[in-house]
Chain A
Amino acid sequence: MLKAMFHACLLTTVAVLGSTHAAAAELELEKEQLKLGFIKLTDMAPLAIAYEKGFFEDEGLYVTLEPQANWKVVLDRVITGELDGAHMLAGQPLGAAVGIGTKADIVTSFSMDLNGNATTVSNEVWNLMKARLPVDAQGKPVHPIKADALKPAVDAFKAAGKPFKMAMVFPVSTHNYELRYWLAAGGLHPGFYSPSDVSGQIKADVFLSVTPPPQMPAAMEAGTVNGYCVGEPWNQQAIFKGVGVPIVTDLEIWKNNPEKVFGVTRAWAEKHPNTHVALLKALIRAGQWLDANNGANRKEAAQILSRSEYVGADYRVIANSMTGTFEYGRGDKRSVPDFNVFFRYYATYPYYSDAVWFLTQMRRWGQIARSQPDQWYHETAKKVYLTEPYRRAARLLIEEKKAAHSDFPWDTDGYRPPSKEFIDGVEYDGRKPNEYLQKLTIGLKQGQVIESGNVTTKQGAT
């Protein structure tokens, strides 16, 4: 019975593949066999879906997907060429361009998703902060929870002489900047970086450090950290394991923030322009599939991701956040339809304004040691975010009738309209990075540098 069904599936997929092939004018591919890396997180979904649904093969690409140990390994292996491309943190190509950590020429033409992260604290911390949280009619805490609520816990730790430690996944990760944004908006200092001290803990109230995503729940269970900011399913996992409570999602910190990108080296992109476009076509279709019909495919996606070769966590854990809900505390499941966005709101388009936001945060926390003119922000963004391959892929998909003209933001100049949808309501306009930095209370301002652990203003520095 099962076998018969399987065969039937096989035949239909073969038939579908055959038919699409006849219609498509294939790109002249420079390379057919590709190895792509990913980290075990639900937002690698576009890669898994493009593979499982045959989108890669439709483009004539034979792709092997390989899980990686941590973000540093991902970046290093893309640089050395062991991987052709990879699921990356949006900050990684930009950080590599600026020279934070490893300096390298990584580019991206595809934003893999929006949102999808959350911050979780240990049961101990939750008990310290729970009492003072405002509750609604049903006695459930009111969301979004601001970092002010965390203050009693941090103070209690300080009084006991213990450092309050939180984990994020990488120094240039979205999580680092989101967690910092949230803490700073609540008056807690997350610490500065300086060229001589890259721990990022100068003047910190809360000490942030790096832990690979899948190890977060174990690290918190072991008491190594008191909380963390990470992608799914590792926040939901904390609830199922009973080791912590998710308190804030990144979409409450900044609505529809860019999260992961698909990164390749510039040399690779220049050597394989057609292969790059073919890859983008497959990934765009995967994004479309994930958001099609109001998320009708999300359950199937969660099934696929729960396989051990992809994310490998239990289906119910993955489905919790992938199917438009999010569980804040045990049993406190709420509807969050935009928790994972893969295609809506032009999610896949590589907006310059997204790149600029990350650059402003790198400057805000001292990873970029000196202030830079607005022009520098725009140039760096345009150097790393390549829109042309994306537009070419989109045009081809429209020609092949696999996408509609309205699926893509054809008229954009690469900057999203200014938005106030941040947890502190500060307006962000990607065209004016320096003006934005001046508006943020905690953080380095125009002309400020960190010198021997102190903030000083350099005269004449711009």
Chain B
Amino acid sequence: MSTSMLAIRREQASTAAAPGTPEAPRPPQEATKRRESLWIERLLRLFTTVGLGFINPVVRLCRGENPRQQVRELWRQLGVPLLAIAVFLFAWSQASGRIQTSLGQIPGPIAVAKQARSLWEDHKAERAKAAAFYERQERRNAARLAKDPNARITPVKYTGKPTYIDQILTSLKTVFTGFLLATLVAVPLGILCGLSRTVNASLNLLIQIFKPVSPLAWLPLVTIIVSAVYVTADPLFEKSFLISSITVTLCSLWPTLINTGVGVNSIDRDLLNVARVLQLKWTTRLFKLVLPSSLPLIFTGMRLSLGVGWMVLIAAEMLAQNPGLGKFVWDEFQNGSSDSLARLMVAVLTIGIIGFLLDRIMHTVQSLLDFGVRR
């Protein structure tokens, strides 16, 4: 929590001290220009928020604001990271050739890029197969209806393998379901903890005990319980999907719960006293006072939760053999073909990039809220 708060503060500091901010007073004929630059300022701040801060110097450069400073800024924000990546890739390609494993050499960046492409080709080929499958099915069903107009036809989903893209989508679906469940449980509980010292005291120990439990410990329990409880003839969800989501929920609940509690607890006492004096209803107090002022911290918690959830999910899928990226990793490990190492690396990079994007999205939402509240 503390690091992310620091990050927020630093970014705000940088926007506040953003160079070239137009300074009043100005001649009246420049009013339109001023309005325009206000818009651009806002846009630039949005770029910084979503993590595209390197665009800003480019824009400012185009507008002719203090070129030397902008170039330096561009170098710092874009040049340096790119250079770092280039150095990393070079070091990787140099080191990879030297390590010999039972599956061959560790693949370099080029081999990994090739596998990423082959996974994409695989995906396209599988889609073509699926199209052919549906065509055959339609033909068969038409033939059956021609023979017997009352034949019972049930549409069948494609029976082939899930592709890499499918696995990514499954994982995203699972993690968001688990995250949603976690939020639904954690936010109300957190508010209760923040509002009442008694509730806080009663839950605190339990939270402290369950928080550090690894997903791998939860998983067998969840599997057995879900298998026993969720028995239906026509299941709405796959059991494996439920098991993975619930495991994610159990592990990612805690940051949101704790942050919400802290957020609610740290509301200005004066505000609460005013509310008491005005004899506001508890619903009004909750929705007009407590929630708005603790939203930034709730979102900080949710952002951490999503990060934890994503990490937990891969482990859960791997161990429970549930569909998703984790299963892909496990299958490739088992396959042990000469492509496996490169594919595993593609998976590692994908998991990392998706985790990064998820964090950015949450960060954007969080900053926007933060900004709104501050205003």
Contact = CB atoms under 8 A, between A and B. Distances in A.
B143 interface: yes
B143 A21 contact: yes
Nearest to B335: A312
A21 B102 CA distance: 48
The secondary-structure label for the interface of chain B is helix
Contacts of A63: 159
A67 interface: yes
Contacts of A311: 335
A306 B339 CA distance: 11
Interface stretch (B131-139, B264-272, B353-361): B131-139
B72 interface: no
B335 A62 contact: no
Interface residues of A, number: 40
A214 interface: yes
Contacts of B336: 214, 217-218, 237, 241, 312-313
Given A21-B140, A217-B102, A68 B321 contact: yes
Given A14-B135, A67-B331, A306 B337 contact: yes
B80 to A, nearest CB: 39
Contact of B331 (A14, A17, A51, A308): A308
Contact of A40 (B136, B143, B160, B335): B335
A105 interface: no
Contacts of B334: 40, 67, 214-215, 312
A144 B154 CA distance: 55
A64 B159 contact: yes
A223 interface: no
Nearest to B125: A6
A452 interface: no
Contacts of B343: 308
Interface string B136-164: 11011001000000000010100111000
Most chain A CB neighbours (cut-off 10 Å) among B139, B332, B336: B336
Contacts of A10: 132
A18 B160 CA distance: 21
Contact of A57 (B102, B136, B338): B136
A221 B161 contact: no
Interface string B83-94: 000000000000
B143 to A, nearest CB: 7
A381 to B, nearest CB: 32
B123 interface: no
Nearest to A26: B144
Contacts of B332: 308, 312
B337 A314 contact: yes
A221 B336 CA distance: 13
Contacts of A80: 227
A309 B156 CA distance: 20
B209 interface: no
A124 to B, nearest CB: 16
Contacts of B132: 10, 13-14
Contacts of B338: 314
A242 interface: yes
B128 interface: yes
A308 B337 contact: yes
A433 B260 CA distance: 71
B4 to A, nearest CB: 37
A191 to B, nearest CB: 28
A312 B161 contact: no
Nearest to B163: A309
A6 B128 contact: yes
Interface string B339-375: 0100100000000000000000000000000000000
B188 to A, nearest CB: 35
Contacts of B103: 241
Given A6-B128, A313-B336, A314-B338, 20 more contacts: A13-B132, A17-B136, A33-B154, A33-B159, A57-B136, A57-B140, A60-B140, A67-B331, A80-B227, A217-B102, A218-B336, A241-B102, A243-B102, A308-B331, A308-B335, A308-B343, A311-B335, A312-B332, A312-B335, A312-B336
7 contacts: A10-B132, A17-B140, A33-B159, A62-B137, A69-B321, A221-B102, A243-B102
The 6 lowest CB-CB distance pairs between A and B, nearest first, are: A312-B335, A309-B161, A241-B102, A214-B334, A62-B156, A64-B159
